[in-house]
Amino acid sequence: MSEKIDLSNYVLSEDDEFMNANQKAYFRAKLIAWRNDILREARETLGHLAEESANHPDLADRASSETDRAIELRARDRQRKLISKIDSALQRIEEGTYGYCEETGEPIGLKRLDARPIATLSIEAQERHERREKVYRDE
């Protein structure tokens, strides 16, 4: 199996066997790079929040700073959940189930996976899921 994939040069091809060794290595590298970027940003945010913890004598400055802090923390929480989904996708690569729809078992499709590497449903299954969600939300 190819361990190192150069993301800048590798081109996914629908003509290749689905989830062959190169495709798995490509998605593994893409997911790991994405996770590393998120973790780097999180470290930068923690540093920024530590610097910003200075007390502001002005009430408006303090309120603005607290609002910014709350927004940063919400963003970090969303990214923490995203890291969990990335780790789950990496686990599916190891198990050999990555790239296949959890509902139908059919291949998700390379274009969808390239755009959303953590996808677990095919486009059709995702649309059905969203329609069901909308019906229950509207009741």
Provide the angle, in degrees to the nearest 10, between the axes of the packed helices 21-52 and 59-95. 160
How far is CA 52 from each of CA 39, 46, 66, 72, 86, rounded to the nearest angstrom?
20, 10, 10, 12, 30
Closest CA relative to residue 21, chosen from 45, 41, 5, 43: 5
pLDDT digits (tens, 9 = 90+) for 81-90: 999 999 999 9
Domains parsed from the chain with CATH numbers: 18-98 (1.20.120.910), 99-138 (no CATH)
* Average pLDDT score over residue span 67-89: 89
Two tokens at 8?
């800048």
pLDDT digits (tens, 9 = 90+) for 10-48: 888 888 999 999 999 999 999 999 999 999 988 887 776
- Assign 10 to helix, strand or coil: coil
Closest CA relative to residue 119, chosen from 100, 133, 96: 100
Instruction: Tell me if the pTM is above 0.95.
Output: no
